[in-house]
Amino acid sequence: MANFTKLSFKKGELNQKLADLFKGMMEKGVVDALLAPMIQPKRGVMLTLVTDPSHLGALDPFAPVVPVNGARIASSITAKPSGRKTAMVLRSCEIRALVELCKLKQANLDDVLLIGMDCLGRYENLDFVKLRAEGQSSEAFLEKALAGNTESGGCDVSGACKICEFPVPDNVDLRLCAIGTGAEAVYLESLTPKGDKALEAAGLNTGETPAGREAAVQQLVKKRKEACDAALAQYRESTPSIDALEDRVANCINCYNCRVACPVCYCKECVFVTDTFRHNGDQYMGWADTFGTLKMPTDTIFYHLTRMSHMSLFCVGCGQCTSACPNSIDLMPMFRAAAQKTQGRFDYQAGRSHDEKQPLTVFENDELVEVTGQVK
């Protein structure tokens, strides 16, 4: 049984409506703190941790930008818990990564009221800043994007968002619904007892269900799935070999930004920055001697393939890797293609459920017999 609360707003007052909602929640003690996207004093929109509800005027959850995947932020706040009840407003890619981080013991949702929001995509950070400077509002974006058009001022949402099959977040207590809710209304949907309790404590009555929502969501998911299949097929066709992969990452300078931006690459010290990869001069000379030349820095393909083996089982396809690359290498399809295969092999889907064990953390005596093909 779905529990929806309708939040109607006047044109141009969506953020005000949401600010009032969260202000009420904080004042009534439903939560002590809120983590949500807020307009920054200088420029841009960033996740902001709010403990004083009088500052909520800058709230802007539907701003089409994700400067940092929020799973990382949620991990910073909850890995060593504060004990304070915190509502977190995050998108599907952030929540799916957060589910994986919880399994990896890098985050803890005990004190968290997780509020997922419908997402129609994010712009690259600089594009967003530019569009904002030109006066684009989140509401205007939402209206246009819901009608199927995300392009604006020569910019479009990121490639990852265009092929994201998860515009609607799962594994949340509350869901901020915008797809198929009609004009000038969003809905807050409760999905867990924790969510029910929060709605009740906030004094919000559940009532009408948004009629067009299910069909609208299904239609969008279908469109995105088709786009995803096409994009990955195109990637595989263009990059079928190591030779082609070298071509794709030819501009890579081993800065490892893709790994830093990746929400599920959680190691405190990546092996690629340890002494394992700080070779002796002799070693470099030896490699150079073998073929006469040695491209520096070395180990670029090695790094990308190793990263695939480390994170592809947890990859949620958020595309932060592509956004972080200083040399405009489109890494997202590379990692998504690997993820599709490795996750598929174990019938696993990153972020789908808290109960599914990560494939490399469990094993059975009688499984995967085809790997060795041997039966005793």
Pairing of strands 174-177, 185-190: antiparallel
Residues 330-349, buried b or exposed e (16+ Cβ, 10 A)?
Answer: bbbbbbbbbbbebbeebebb
Q: Which one, 211 or 271, has the nearer CB to other proteins? A: 271
Contact between 247 and other proteins by CB under 8 A: the answer reads no
Residue type for 119, please?
C
Quote the strand ranges of 178-325, DSSP E. 185-190
Contact between 183 and other proteins by CB under 8 A: the answer reads no
Q: Which of 298, 349, 352, 356 forms a contact with other proteins (CB under 8 A)?
A: 298
Q: 123 forms bridges with which residues in the sheet?
A: 65
- Within 8 A by CB and 6+ apart from 125, the residues are 44, 65, 67, 323
Helix axes 300-311, 332-345, angle to 10 degrees: 40
- Measured distance between the N- and C-terminal CA atoms of the chain, rounded to whole angstroms: 51
Q: Which of 294, 326, 327, 357 forms a contact with other proteins (CB under 8 A)?
A: 294
Contact between 133 and other proteins by CB under 8 A: the answer reads no
Contact between 346 and other proteins by CB under 8 A: the answer reads yes
Q: Which of 7, 45, 337, 350 forms a contact with other proteins (CB under 8 A)?
A: 337
Tokens read off for 106: 């890098």
Contact between 338 and other proteins by CB under 8 A: the answer reads yes
Kindly report the number of other CB atoms within 10 A of residue 251's CB atom: 11
Contact between 137 and other proteins by CB under 8 A: the answer reads no
Q: How far is the CB of 251 from other proteins (least distance, A)?
A: 15
Contact between 148 and other proteins by CB under 8 A: the answer reads no
Q: How far is the CB of 356 from other proteins (least distance, A)?
A: 15
Q: Which of 52, 110, 237, 243 forms a contact with other proteins (CB under 8 A)?
A: 243
Contact between 332 and other proteins by CB under 8 A: the answer reads no
Tokens read off for 45: 């929109």
Q: How far is the CB of 338 from other proteins (least distance, A)?
A: 5
Q: Are 178 and 5 within 8 A, CB to CB?
A: no
Kindly indicate which of the ranges 14-22, 69-77, 190-198, 335-343 contains the residues binding other proteins, using the contact rule CB under 8 A.
335-343
- DSSP label at residue 361: G
| Site mask for other proteins (CB under 8 A), range 204-233, x = bound | ------------------------------
Q: Are 166 and 93 within 8 A, CB to CB?
A: yes
Closest CA relative to residue 252, chosen from 166, 174, 326, 198: 326
Q: Report 305-324 residues binding other proteins (CB under 8 A).
A: 305-306, 308-309, 312-313
Contact between 363 and other proteins by CB under 8 A: the answer reads yes
Q: Are 86 and 113 within 8 A, CB to CB?
A: yes
Contact between 9 and other proteins by CB under 8 A: the answer reads no
Contact between 331 and other proteins by CB under 8 A: the answer reads no
* Binding-site ranges for other proteins (CB under 8 A): 236, 239-246, 271, 287, 290-295, 298-303, 305-306, 308-309, 312-313, 337-338, 341-342, 344-346, 359-360, 363-368, 371-372, 374, 376
